[in-house]
Amino acid sequence: MKKPEWVIEKERAKRAAAAETLWLFGLHAVRDALMNPARVKLRLVLTKNAADKLAEAIAAGGLEPEILEPRKFDTQVPLGPDQVHQGAALEVKPLDWGKLADVALTGEGLPLVVLLDRVTDPHNVGAILRSAEVFGARAVVAPARHSAPETGALAKTASGALERQPYLRITNLADAMGELRDMGYVLIGLAGEATMTLAEGLAEVGTRPVAIVLGAEGPGLREKTRETCDHLVRIPFGGAFGSLNVSNAAAVALYAASSGRGGA
């Protein structure tokens, strides 16, 4: 019996995911990945200077480094010319954080989740992961398509948070939002034109779990995402005109949400 096309496609995607690797670079990103027992590590390439600085992490990571002369580094590691690697690069498998329900219900941290609607800039996502870790969120969630995947640039911006802060890339954002609502989460979307402020929205939520939903800069939340939110809120500004990029807006919202839940 011939397999249905959707089964074939699912198996193909699973094989592709299993084969996927990425290069992390920079002293902080490589150190934190080496120290993470959950990270599958494949190849470590260092200059002598970087190896001296990472001696403790190398011992913990259990991977023998390849030591290269600085002038030969760029010829052996597939990094872009604008990527500041500091003489350290590590090939790894993407992290597997498991199912959304497991992380959102019983994960470490506050009952607080961040949902990203087509935020594709790895620097923004890296900064959001860093803020999510600082303010104790359980997860950052984004669709597998039209979102920033794990990359070296994302890891470098996250400054180690990628190794500790769950970053789940799911199939369908609206379905994930519905799943979170069934778990008791209240979905709060940030939209500049909303009449309700962030503080007012959080006051209505009280002590219930919160999922903060953020859209890409420019287009913002898609219509389907907006319709799925329980509340749309805005961050008020002191001047006649004000705007924040998505990573700054996430930091403000995470601080506000965590303040009423035993956080900062």
Q: What is the pLDDT of residue 11?
A: 47
Fold for the domain defined by 100-260: Alpha/beta knot (3.40.1280)
Tokens read off for 13: 């995607």
Q: How many CB atoms lie within 10 A of CB 183?
A: 15
What percent of the chain stands above pLDDT 90?
Answer: 69
Residue 115 scores a pLDDT above 80: yes
Dist CA 217 CA 192 (whole Å)? 11
DSSP secondary structure letters along 111-155:
SEEEEEES---HHHHHHHHHHHHHTT-SEEEEESSSSPPS-HHHH
Dist CA 231 CA 190 (whole Å)? 9
Q: How many C-alpha atoms does 23 have within 13 Å on its Cβ side? A: 18
* Cα 197 versus chain centre, distance: 25
* Digit-coded pLDDT (tens) for 230-255: 999 999 876 555 678 999 999 999 99
Q: What is the pLDDT of residue 70?
A: 84
* Digit-coded pLDDT (tens) for 128-183: 999 999 999 999 999 998 899 988 889 989 988 999 999 999 999 999 999 999 99
Q: Domain boundaries in the chain? A: 5-92, 100-260
What percent of the chain stands above pLDDT 70?
Answer: 88
Q: What is the pLDDT of residue 13?
A: 47
Domain 5-92 CATH superfamily = Ribosomal protein L30/S12 (3.30.1330.30)
* Digit-coded pLDDT (tens) for 27-68: 999 999 999 999 999 999 999 999 999 999 999 999 999 999
Of 4-13, 16-25, 52-61, 231-240, the poorest mean pLDDT is in: 4-13
Tokens read off for 134: 């600082």
Q: What is the pLDDT of residue 40?
A: 95
| Whether the model pTM is above 0.75 | yes
* Digit-coded pLDDT (tens) for 178-202: 999 999 999 999 998 899 999 999 9
Dist CA 96 CA 99 (whole Å)? 9
